[in-house]
A and B are shown apart, each in its own frame.
Chain A
Amino acid sequence: MARIIVVTSGKGGVGKTTTSAAIAMGLAKKGHKTAVIDFDVGLRNLDLIMGCERRVVYDLVNVINGEATLNQALIRDKRCNQLYILPASQTRDKDALTIEGVGKVLEELAKDFKYVVCDSPAGIEKGATLAMYFADDAFVVTNPEVSSVRDSDRMLGILASKSKRAENNEEPIKEYLLLTRYSPDRVKLGEMLSVEDVQEILSLHLLGVIPESKSVLNASNSGIPVILDEKSDAGQAYDDVVARYLGEDRPHRFIDEEKKGLFGKLFRSK
């Protein structure tokens, strides 16, 4: 049976799709057969970030409506043969998704895959609630600012009460905090909430901190999941996140300011 992971946040623009692409690639690179599904019907993005937008034939809604089989719709990643992408439909809206349809697709994927990553749309409406309904684990993506933290808190409430696990009184969804677009310099200046602030408000297990980085935008623009950019800080941070999720014990990085070199120190000490 596959483990179903939902990447969610409530608020938009915090890095859900970037995170979905990165961790799906990370899991696949470790040899686990992984599928990543775009639930943002009508505002399809994941295929761009994954760099497979020119290979989309069928999508999630086609599969739900029985117009295509799952195998026809799944796109195999060219860089990693353990990774498959199920894109969203751009010409439909979220009403095309049904709980039965999504359940059937996930059930079929679960037979064959080790991990299924669900990239949730923003908001708390149908697309988002369906993306998390069947989840086993939830990655709650949060930016270090108050409105994102409040929306994540709201999402955690929905995860705890409106999922399949909650409705069947099963073990609740495992929730992990992923703090993205983190900038230690700005935290020091008091312009951003610190890791401790966010954890105090959400009281949630911290899976990783992804630093604000130019490499993320570059990676998105070129359709390469940022985790493949091994030299970049964000890529390394996502690599840590995947390793920690799989049970490895790695210390948190990118939380403190970068150490200045000797020259930096000399020039700074005025």
Chain B
Amino acid sequence: MSTEPQHTPYQKPALEFKSTTYSVPVLIPYTHDLTVIEHQLQQKINQAPEFFRNSPILIDLQELNKQSTSLNVAECIGLLRKLALLPIGIRGGLNDQNEAALALDIPKISAQQNISHQETAQKLEKITPEPESEPETPEQPITRLVTQPVRSGQRVYAHGDLIVLAQVSAGAEIMAEGNIHVYGILRGRALAGIQGNTEARIFCSDLQAELISIAGNYKISEDLDESVRNKPVQIYLNDLALIIQDL
């Protein structure tokens, strides 16, 4: 949630409520033994100290409480703070656990829109090896706009969609986790859905690419049909087959 302060002499609202969605690392303890947790957590933090420093973190107790072992929430929060993590919520806790958290100003977060635990765990695993990603920035896909030609030997990576308004030269490589749009001639390599998004598409106004790929399924220049070459096309995936279609 964010508030927007406004200082005007008029009778305008001084604040506003908005809602926002963003990703936070979730800690899922599998044991109530805090010394074991501390040891393993410290190891994880050592792999990417910058990523974890002052990172918000959510404690998820659903898994642990299934085992009918009970974790001392107050001590757990103390441990996290000691390791420079900032717990911002607890979910899946029992009543007394929630109360203990609230006493330390940690709110209970409803566990309804949970993704399955496995996925959450994987997500955390995925983020860990990239210490350069800023924990403060919401990990929403961001569209990247490139207005200059992408020259031979250059690589452009977009975490969301990628829009290139100029040409992509032979020997250049453009990659996006989402869709790719090229409004100049596409002569280089274009790889969309690079993290496995099979719904990603490539759009270009003139297809002369060296290689096109969606979610790892690729075609090289030699395999491109003459009927689609030098034409405006879209490329998408249908049952793991690349479909190239006139626009």
Contact = CB atoms under 8 A, between A and B. Distances in A.
A158 interface: yes
Contact of A157 (B153, B166, B167, B184): B153
A158 B167 contact: no
Given A203-B166, A203-B167, A153 B152 contact: yes
- Report whether over half of chain A's contact residues are helix, strand or loop; otherwise say mixed: helix
Contacts, number: 35
A34 B53 CA distance: 54
A267 to B, nearest CB: 41
Interface string A190-208: 0000000000010100000
B148 A154 contact: no
A105 B172 CA distance: 34
Contacts of B167: 203
Interface residues of A, number: 11
Contacts of B98: none
Interface string A35-52: 000000000000000000
Question: Which residue, of A154, A156, A157, A201, has the highest number of chain B Cβ atoms within 10 A?
Answer: A157
A226 B148 CA distance: 35
Contact of A158 (B150, B153, B166, B171): B153
Interface in A152-173: 153-154, 156-158, 160-161
Nearest to B166: A203
Given A153-B171, A154-B153, A160 B166 contact: no
A161 B149 CA distance: 12
Interface in B163-213: 166-167, 169-172, 184, 187
B148 A153 contact: no
Interface of B: 148-154, 166-167, 169-172, 184, 187
Given A153-B170, A157-B154, A157-B169, 18 more contacts: A150-B170, A151-B152, A153-B151, A153-B152, A153-B169, A153-B171, A154-B152, A154-B171, A156-B149, A157-B152, A157-B153, A158-B153, A160-B151, A161-B154, A201-B169, A201-B187, A203-B166, A203-B167
11 contacts: A150-B170, A153-B169, A153-B170, A154-B153, A156-B149, A157-B152, A158-B153, A160-B154, A201-B187, A203-B166, A203-B184
